């Protein structure tokens, strides 16, 4: 056992060192940092790995910038936490000496706020220990919002060049407005990457719903119609207007960040967009805010708060039906006209649509450049994706930052298994929101390779297990109970799909216990299986064929199949060992190892059988 532990330990170290070398080679291409600094970040990740959420523990999914940001955030957070606790203790002591009344929760939040902006304070006020409780509250009321806004804007803008200042400011505003509702142990905003910050804000908004959301400031977007009271119609002229007018609804032209699809609707599909706002209604009312889209032929579609078909802007509806939902529109149809693309919009459309790119035609960008190499900025990639709508090669998708991967998903593309493999956890979560509900309602037979690859992602391990009983319902026992066959995993058989998702052991219970022949044949999908212990329950099994690279190991308990006459293990180069006891199978007539050239044949087999029928076929 001691020797085994030493060997296991050595193996783990060797794998770890090998991985470090691969990561080092990869990260050196992404940064100017020294090898020493890169290795320190890799080793720091190992230190914190177990404390991370399960979907963030795979270091191979990180680029160096993301890894560095994560480690810096953790380590700075630990230092910040100690500083905050020390300052709280100091101020409590000072306040108690003055016999002042204070609120501990408010003090804790105030100290946390102070450290978020401390680097921006220019004078003696930089030292928090000089403040009493009341003085600290007064100082923050005067300075916190302005200093934090500028600090975060300067920090986040370089990280996300496809975002406008206005978009980033909207997130900062949400954070400041709802600071008191954020758990105290959450790292300060200045210690987060924008992706972490965005997830925090999105989660807050989702948790509280629309009820608490403040009304949007619309002074800089003049309406094309105003009834003089509460009913207005707007004709936005850009993405920023659409974001402002969305009022928390889930329309994709109102999304923040790279997922916004304004250009896809306006330039890609030449839709004219109108917003209808009725402030006489409750903010959460279905018809408080609405979108009306006009196509080049004058057809009108309609999206309301539900954003579900046919009220998601995807289906043209008669004007009488739309005005039936919003009676104030009854005599205003003349306002909703198709607006031709401007010269700038036409130039943008032609510039991107004329770029030759076709995955099905195997045409990539010039010189096989990735989008990140070909275009000047992430913003131009976003515009190209919306207007051209390209189906991306796997390597081009892999080169994109997370926000643009999310945009690709938002455009309605299904991810290939290769794209899923190079997607960060946040992208997979976003993709899953669109896919997973369909998968939950699907049968095993309707799953495609992309669905299977998604379910096999580590973050969906629990969901996959929850779906197993339902997926197994389609695996009825064969009408011929004596035979069981899987001839390739790429075929659209339910059995093949089940084995891609689960194991042969999971499937054993669905094979007739009186089966006489089992054949599992591999294919170019490289699916591997392990022979489960439960196979010995098939007492009548006379033929077992596991071929074409489907298996790498033959367990000793295979020898408990006493009625086995034919054992086919052909074309499995991964097999290196054959149990000695195979020679003791009393009824075995043929052992086919043809094409399994790496297996060492035991002397006991050589003594009992010969290769009279050809190399690798023992009889």
Of 405, 361, 368, 415, nearest in space to 385 by CA: 405
**pLDDT value, residue 488:** 56
Does pTM surpass 0.85? no
Q: What pLDDT does 322 receive?
A: 92
Omega before 506 cis (within 30°)? no
- Write down all domains in the chain, each with its CATH number in brackets: 2-62 (no CATH), 68-191 (no CATH), 225-335 (no CATH), 343-413 (no CATH), 475-618 (3.80.10.10)
The pLDDT tens digits of the residues spanning 221-233 come to 889 999 998 999 9
Q: Which among 508, 513, 618, 521 is positioned nearest to 567, based on CA atoms?
A: 618
Question: For the segment 47-94, what is each residue's pLDDT rounded down to a tens digit?
Answer: 877 777 666 778 887 888 888 877 887 777 778 888 888 888 888 888
Torsion angles phi and psi, residue 123, rounded to 5:
-120, -160
- Could you tell me which residues are beta bridge partners of residue 277? 232, 289
pLDDT tens track for 375-410: 988 888 888 988 888 899 999 999 998 888 888 888
Q: Return d(Cα 119, Cα 114) in angstroms, integer.
A: 9
What is each CA distance from 366 to 370, 375, 384, 404, in whole angstroms? Answer: 9, 11, 15, 20
Spatial neighbors of 615 by CB under 8 A, at least 6 apart, are: 594
Predicted local distance difference test score (pLDDT) of residue 213: 43
C-alpha torsion angle, residues 47, 48, 50, 55 (rounded to 10): -130
Structure tokens at 11: 């193996």
Please list the rounded mean pLDDT of every run of 10 residues in the chain (619 residues): 33 55 86 87 82 74 81 79 86 77 76 91 85 82 87 82 69 82 84 80 63 50 89 89 77 70 85 93 84 93 83 87 93 93 89 87 89 87 87 92 85 84 78 72 76 76 82 57 62 71 73 83 74 87 87 91 91 91 91 91 88 80
Q: State both tokens at 43.
A: 């080793």
The Cα–Cα gap between 64 and 43 comes to: 13
Residue 564: what pLDDT? 92
The per-residue pLDDT for range 90-140, each reduced to its tens digit, is 888 887 777 665 667 778 888 999 999 998 998 888 888 888 877 888 788
Distance CA 299, CA 288 (A): 23
């Amino acid at each position: 056992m001691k020797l085994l532990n030493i060997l296991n330990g050595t193996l783990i170290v060797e794998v770890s060192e090998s991985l470090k070398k691969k990561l080092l080679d990869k990260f050196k291409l992404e940064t100017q940092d020294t090898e020493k600094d890169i290795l320190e970040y890799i080793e720091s990740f190992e230190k914190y790995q177990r404390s991370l959420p399960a979907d963030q523990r795979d270091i191979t999914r990180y680029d160096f910038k993301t890894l560095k940001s994560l480690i810096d955030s953790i380590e700075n957070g630990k230092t910040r936490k100690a500083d905050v606790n020390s300052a709280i203790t100091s101020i409590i002591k000072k306040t108690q000496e003055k016999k002042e009344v204070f609120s501990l929760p408010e003090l804790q939040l105030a100290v946390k706020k102070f450290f978020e902006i401390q680097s921006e304070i220019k004078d003696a006020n930089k030292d928090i220990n000089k403040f009493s409780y009341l003085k600290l509250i007064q100082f923050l009321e005067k300075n916190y919002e302005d200093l934090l806004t500028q600090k975060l804007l300067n920090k986040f803008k370089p990280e996300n060049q496809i975002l406008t200042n206005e978009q980033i400011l909207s997130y900062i505003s949400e954070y400041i407005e709802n600071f008191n509702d954020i758990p105290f142990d959450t790292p300060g905003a200045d210690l987060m990457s924008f992706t972490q910050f965005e997830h925090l804000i999105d989660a807050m908004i989702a948790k509280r719903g629309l009820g608490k959301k403040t009304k949007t400031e619309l002074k800089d977007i003049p309406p094309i119609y105003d009834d003089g009271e509460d009913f207005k119609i707007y004709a936005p002229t850009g993405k920023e207007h659409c974001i402002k007018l969305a009022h928390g609804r889930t329309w994709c032209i109102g999304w923040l960040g790279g997922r916004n699809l304004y250009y896809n609707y306006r330039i890609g599909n030449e839709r004219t967009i109108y917003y209808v706002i009725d402030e006489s209604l409750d903010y959460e009312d279905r018809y408080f805010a609405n979108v009306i889209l006009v196509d080049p032929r004058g057809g009108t579609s309609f999206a309301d708060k539900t954003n579900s078909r046919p009220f998601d802007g995807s289906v043209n509806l008669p004007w009488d039906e739309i005005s039936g939902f919003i009676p104030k529109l009854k005599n205003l149809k003349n306002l909703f006209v198709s607006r031709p693309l401007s010269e700038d919009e036409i130039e943008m459309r032609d510039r991107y649509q004329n770029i030759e790119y076709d995955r099905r035609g195997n045409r990539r960008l010039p010189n096989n450049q990735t989008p990140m190499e070909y275009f000047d900025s992430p913003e131009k990639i976003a515009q190209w994706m919306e207007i051209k709508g390209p189906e991306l090669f796997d390597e081009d998708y892999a080169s994109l930052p997370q926000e643009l991967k999310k945009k690709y998903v938002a455009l309605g593309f299904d991810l290939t298994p290769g794209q899923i493999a190079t997607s960060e956890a946040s992208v997979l979560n976003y993709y899953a929101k669109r896919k997973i509900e369909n998968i939950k309602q699907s049968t095993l037979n309707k799953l495609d390779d992309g669905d299977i690859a998604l379910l096999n992602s580590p973050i969906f391990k629990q969901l996959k297990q929850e779906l197993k009983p339902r997926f197994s319902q389609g695996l009825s026992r064969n009408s011929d109970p004596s035979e069981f066959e899987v001839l390739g995993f790429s075929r659209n058989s339910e059995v093949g799909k089940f084995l891609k998702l689960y194991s042969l052991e999971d499937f054993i219970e669905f094979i007739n216990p009186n089966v006489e022949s089992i054949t599992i044949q591999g294919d170019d999908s490289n699916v591997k299986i392990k022979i489960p212990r439960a196979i010995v329950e098939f007492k009548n099994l006379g033929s077992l064929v596991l071929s074409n690279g489907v298996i790498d190991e033959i367990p000793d308990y295979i020898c408990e199949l006493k009625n086995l006459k034919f054992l086919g293990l052909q074309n499995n180069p991964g097999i290196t060992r054959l149990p000695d006891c195979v020679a003791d199978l009393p009824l075995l007539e043929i052992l086919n190892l043809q094409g399994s050239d790496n297996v060492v044949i035991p002397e006991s087999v050589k003594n009992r059988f010969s290769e009279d029928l050809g190399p690798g076929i023992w009889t």
